[in-house]
Amino acid sequence: MAGLPAPIDGFDDEHVAEVLPLHREPDASLEAHGTEMDSDIAADWNLWSEQIGRALLPILRSVVESTPTVTSAMIGTADGFNLCSLGLDEHDVTRVSAMTSSLLSLADAVTDVVDKADDHPLDLVSLAHGSYATVVLAVRHLIVGQLLIWLTGDASMKTLIESQALDVATSVRMLLGDD
């Protein structure tokens, strides 16, 4: 084999590459933390996601109607797909859903550096941007695995927005809890 470096001891030069398992046993730190989806729902996700989105929409509508300071709301999957939303332009929904998923993942990774504990993943991220505040809340142990709640509203009412996100989470758990 021209152009290749000298053989490495123990390397079979009949092969171009060898695959070596990095983890021979499952890594306990990679536990699902209530994020796994029911297999029947996963098998027919296109059908289920539309129905679940329709079932969740009244929960969001209730929050937006009862809290005028909430300007937009969304419930999406942990991997960045929108299930239902209010107050967002149609072309922004896909972007916001994907960014919400990334935001929670990045924030969780940052907190892992500080906390070093694998047993409790991040639940809530709160952002202030100008006169607005955004709250992202993870809801786990659902028949659909994990969902993310995204609420944006008046920054002066951030505590109320966080409280509303927790109320939405309770309603989502009542509807989709895996117990």
Domains and CATH numbers, the chain: 34-176 (3.30.450.30)
Residue 112: the pLDDT is: 76
Report the run of H or E that residue 153 belongs to, with start and end. Answer: strand 145-154
Report the run of H or E that residue 49 belongs to, with start and end. Answer: helix 45-66
What is d(CA 136, CA 73) in angstroms, rounded to the nearest whole number? Answer: 10
Paired sense of beta strands 132-142 and 124-129, if any: antiparallel
Residue 29: the pLDDT is: 47
Residue 6 or residue 140, greater confidence: 140
**What average pLDDT does the structure give for the chain?**
80
Residue 45: the pLDDT is: 65
What is d(CA 70, CA 151) in angstroms, rounded to the nearest whole number? Answer: 7
In tens, the pLDDT along 19-65 reads: 444 444 444 444 455 556 567 666 766 777 788 899 999 999 999 99
pTM for the predicted model, two decimal places: 0.74
Residue 128: the pLDDT is: 92
Residues 6+ away with beta carbon under 8 Å from 46: none
Lowest mean pLDDT among 3-17, 37-51, 59-73: 3-17
